[in-house]
């Protein structure tokens, strides 16, 4: 069975945009929910449970609490369900969540694509500086891991769940964006500019959630495999990779930044009928065109 060149790429774009719109709609609904209590004359709008996804730290705490006690915390229960689902996606499809579902990842991707369109290119940080910057998200993740997974016991977590802060943590997250300070505004502007100039700047260097999923994805049964016998070393796979992985020099891509989830166990080889920019995915179900990243 054959697929039009790039068709899977556009399917991915459609899925990304759909999840982005769903996220924005849930945020708007939650905003209306909060406004009802601030201005009782406004009509009541039910609180969308999906806003719990905006509280990943609380979800990690809820996961530990569930493992230790078998109890689902009742304040923001959807956060735990979505956390388990996202981890499950990463175990099965590597960073499929980051590449297909995450609205922040989608916004970051469209930012660098716009920058490439307008400027004619994206910039790339020097190798050793890049390695140092990539460690930032792991340092942030390590801090959360130490505080939540190591230091906090079930009693302390339970007390946090009963605190006034946690009861309105979702509202505080909303206010972070609707009533942001000048510092917050300029930080966000800076991140947008950097995301336009550099591919996936937030995801690559700063996102602790992505760091966690990258670690988990190493146990995924799916991998990108390069067929050394048929590789003509044209550099196209390395140049196209949005995660900046040197695919050409790897037999199997094991990096936590790699995104799989399109075909299962795959091999990338050059299509002899399309010597420039076209790959064949040689997998368990035969050969088919591979979309650009």
What is the tens place of the pLDDT at every residue in 211-252?
999 999 988 887 777 777 777 778 777 777 767 777 777 777
pLDDT score of 256: 58
pLDDT at 279: 43
Counting residues of the chain whose pLDDT is more than 90, the rounded percentage is 66
What pLDDT score does 255 carry?
Answer: 60
Does the pTM surpass 0.85? The reply is: no
Who has greater pLDDT, 86 or 264?
Answer: 86
* Confidence label for 67 from pLDDT (cuts 50, 70 and 90): very high
Q: Token digits for 150? A: 């190591």
Q: Would you state the pLDDT for residue 231?
A: 78
Query: pLDDT tens digits for 89-112?
Result: 999 988 889 999 999 999 999 999
Mean pLDDT of 70-80: 94
Q: Which of 19-28, 35-44, 90-99, 249-258 is the least confident region? A: 249-258
């Amino acid at each position: 069975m054959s697929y039009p060149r790039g068709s899977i790429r556009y399917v991915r774009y459609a899925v990304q945009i759909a999840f982005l719109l769903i996220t924005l709609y849930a945020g708007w609904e939650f905003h209306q929910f909060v406004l009802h209590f601030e201005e009782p004359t406004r009509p009541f709008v039910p609180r969308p449970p999906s806003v719990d996804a905006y509280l990943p730290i609380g979800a990690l705490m809820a996961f530990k609490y569930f493992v230790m006690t078998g109890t689902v915390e009742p304040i923001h229960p959807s956060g735990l369900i979505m956390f388990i689902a996202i981890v499950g996606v990463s175990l099965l499809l590597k960073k499929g969540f980051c590449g297909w579902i995450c609205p922040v990842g989608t916004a970051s991707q469209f930012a660098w694509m716009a920058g490439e369109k307008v400027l004619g290119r994206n910039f790339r940080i020097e190798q050793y500086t890049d390695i140092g910057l990539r460690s930032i998200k792991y340092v942030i993740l390590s801090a959360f891991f130490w505080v939540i997974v190591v230091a906090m016991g079930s009693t302390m977590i339970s007390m946090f769940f009963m605190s006034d802060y946690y009861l309105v943590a979702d509202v505080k997250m909303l206010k972070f964006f609707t009533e942001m300070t000048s510092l917050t505004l300029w930080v966000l502007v800076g991140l947008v500019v950097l995301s336009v100039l550099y591919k996936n700047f937030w995801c690559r260097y700063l996102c602790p959630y992505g760091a966690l999923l990258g670690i988990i994805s190493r146990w995924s049964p799916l991998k990108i495999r390069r067929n050394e016998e048929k590789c003509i070393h044209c550099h196209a796979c390395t140049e196209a990779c949005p995660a900046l992985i040197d695919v050409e020099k790897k037999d199997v891509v094991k990096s936590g930044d790699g995104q799989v989830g399109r075909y299962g166990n795959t091999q990338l080889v050059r299509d002899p009928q399309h010597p420039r920019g076209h790959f064949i995915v040689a997998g368990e179900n035969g050969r088919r065109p591979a979309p650009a990243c």
